[in-house]
Amino acid sequence: MTKFSDLNLNPKVLKAIEEAGYETPTPIQAGAIPHALEGKDVLGIAQTGTGKTASFTLPMITSLARGRARARMPRSLVLCPTRELAAQVAENFDTYAKYVKLTKALLIGGVSFKEQEQLIDKGVDVLIATPGRLLDHFERGKLILTDVKVMVVDEADRMLDMGFIPDIERIFSLTPFTRQTLFFSATMAPEIERITNTFLSNPERIEVARQATASETIEQGAVFFKGSRKDREGSEKRTVLRQLIDREGEKCTNAIVFCNRKVDVDIVAKSLKKYGYNAEPIHGDLDQSQRTRTLEGFREGSIRLLIASDVAARGLDVPSVSHVFNFDVPGHAEDYVHRIGRTGRAGREGKAFTIVVPRDEKNFEDVEKLLQKEIPRVELPGVKAPAKAEATADEEKTDAKPKRTRSRSRKSDKSDKVNAPAEATAAEAPATEAPVEAPEESKDTKESKAPAQKSGADKPRSDRGRSDKGRGRGSKSDNNVVGMGDHMPEFIALSFDERRAS
């Protein structure tokens, strides 16, 4: 079995790794680190929680151990989609580079430009940034990227989801063509494939798992739920969430609850606090200082439930998360994999449960198609499943043919008559098909009705306004005027007749 000592890393880096308690690299680390140390471009594809961060931090520290950075000209660049992931990468550099004299700067939103500019002016070996803040500094003239020797793009598929791809392409164009590029992603969407073909030079592709797969150590489940009324669905859905948490009991030491919308994050967190649960929200609209305090509290264990939007779904390394609860089914199936990847990390066991309401069933089907397996259904006492889910469960329990249901449609009535016994059909025939004779009319009555039938008011609509010669569509005359419709005035037709006669 490969060990870190076999990977030709800097001895000072190996010492830091040993003190951190690691001996054996993960598959993505064992595959990517040797190629990165050789200076080759690397395309790493691995599911979340497999140690991708160390796959590029360790060889970068080894490569940058020699040399010195100049003012405003970083020697390496790491791009991350979110502030939290960027901060986590910075922590990894602090852990593994503590015996190597390397300087770093973290460029993220929510922090003053002045403090970041002071770090850049001194010169940094490692620049870790989100794309937006990096370009802000560049446009202010505070940053020069022509000396970047190693460039890393982390969680590239998340960059795509957040709309950062144009920024990434621009940043690539600002760095030297001779740079080394380390590109990591959990999935390979067509747009990501296009970027790698454009900006990577003959990369070594390291793929350690099927794209967009969940870890086998995660036990998954789904609760299908239908609210009693539309205006009560949100409240009743939060009740289902509390039932799931209580059902796990002491096994749920800590958990992340994912919501699709930021407003729901705040509502769910407030509701859980109201019922005595230790919960705090985290999403993109909160101040960076508050987000940092919340994450630290969750890592330390002072916060049990972290209610989060997808800002926390990628890259957050909290190894001991026991549970993940999806309050909403994510709109993109790949996001489901990243969400539940917060638990069951580094070979640990974890549990992930999803609440599915009728409007989310299509998205949930997409998740199961991506995973190529059915997620087990979980039944909770007092929770009513939608009719569709109940019907599916009944079909699985029995192979009998479905019973015919009564229908008021004409098609159903006709089919019933065809399948009915002959005696019943014969008995019904006189009542339905016997002609009804009209009463005889006197001669006076007939004569009184005759003029009325000849009047224009009683003529069919399509025959009104037509002359005896037939000017409209369907007449026997040869002098029709195309495009004039059924209600052409008589004088117009006459004028055309006169011209034709002449």
Convert 266-285 into a string of H (helix), E (strand) and C (coil): HHHHHHHHHCCCCEEEECCC
Neighbour count for residue 439 (Cβ, 10 Å): 4
What's the confidence (pLDDT) of residue 387?
A: 61
What's the confidence (pLDDT) of residue 188?
A: 82
**Helix/strand/coil percentages in the chain, nearest 5:** 45, 15, 40
Per the DSSP assignment, residues forming a β-bridge with 104 are: 126
SS3 state of residue 440: coil
Per the DSSP assignment, residues forming a β-bridge with 353 are: 221, 325
Burial class (CB in 10 A: 0-12, 13-18, 19+), 386: middle
- Measured CA to CA, the distance from residue 217 to residue 350 in angstroms comes to 6
- Measured CA to CA, the distance from residue 50 to residue 341 in angstroms comes to 9
Residue 73 Cα distances to 90, 117, 120, 139, angstroms: 18, 12, 8, 14
Tokens read off for 273: 């606090």
For 268, residues 6+ apart whose C-beta sits below 8 A from its C-beta are: 238, 241, 257, 259, 279, 281, 307, 327
- Measured CA to CA, the distance from residue 409 to residue 354 in angstroms comes to 38
- Measured CA to CA, the distance from residue 466 to residue 456 in angstroms comes to 10
Q: What is the mean pLDDT of each run of 10 residues along the chain (502 residues)?
A: 87 93 90 95 83 92 88 94 89 92 90 90 94 94 94 90 90 95 88 91 85 76 90 93 94 94 93 95 84 88 91 66 94 84 79 94 92 90 65 46 47 44 40 42 44 44 43 46 60 59 57
The residue among 153, 16, 159 whose CA lies nearest residue 78 is 153
Please indicate, yes or no, whether the overall pTM of this predicted structure exceeds 0.75: no
Helices (H) and strands (E) in the chain, counts: 19, 13
The residue among 14, 298, 338, 24 whose CA lies nearest residue 161 is 338
Neighbour count for residue 318 (Cβ, 10 Å): 16
158-234-285 Cα angle (round to 5)? 40
What's the confidence (pLDDT) of residue 109?
A: 86
H/E segment holding residue 91: helix 83-96
Tokens read off for 275: 């019922």
- Measured CA to CA, the distance from residue 286 to residue 234 in angstroms comes to 23
Residue 394 Cα distances to 225, 390, 398, 404, angstroms: 16, 6, 6, 15
For 5, residues 6+ apart whose C-beta sits below 8 A from its C-beta are: 14
**Which domains are seen in the chain, by residue range?**
4-207 (3.40.50.300), 218-397 (3.40.50.300), 447-501 (no CATH)
- Measured CA to CA, the distance from residue 489 to residue 466 in angstroms comes to 9
Q: DSSP letter at 174? A: H
At 432, which amino acid appears? T
Sheet of 305-308: strand order equals 218-224, 350-356, 323-326, 255-258, 305-308, 279-282
What's the confidence (pLDDT) of residue 493?
A: 62
The residue among 109, 104, 84, 126 whose CA lies nearest residue 317 is 84
Q: Are 211 and 188 in contact (CB under 8 A)?
A: yes
The residue among 377, 332, 382 whose CA lies nearest residue 356 is 377
The residue among 291, 294, 264 whose CA lies nearest residue 279 is 294
What's the confidence (pLDDT) of residue 310?
A: 79
Q: Are 68 and 149 in contact (CB under 8 A)?
A: no
Residue 128 Cα distances to 79, 106, 193, 489, angstroms: 6, 5, 24, 81
8-10-12 Cα angle (round to 5)? 140
- Measured CA to CA, the distance from residue 345 to residue 366 in angstroms comes to 24
Per the DSSP assignment, residues forming a β-bridge with 218 are: 350
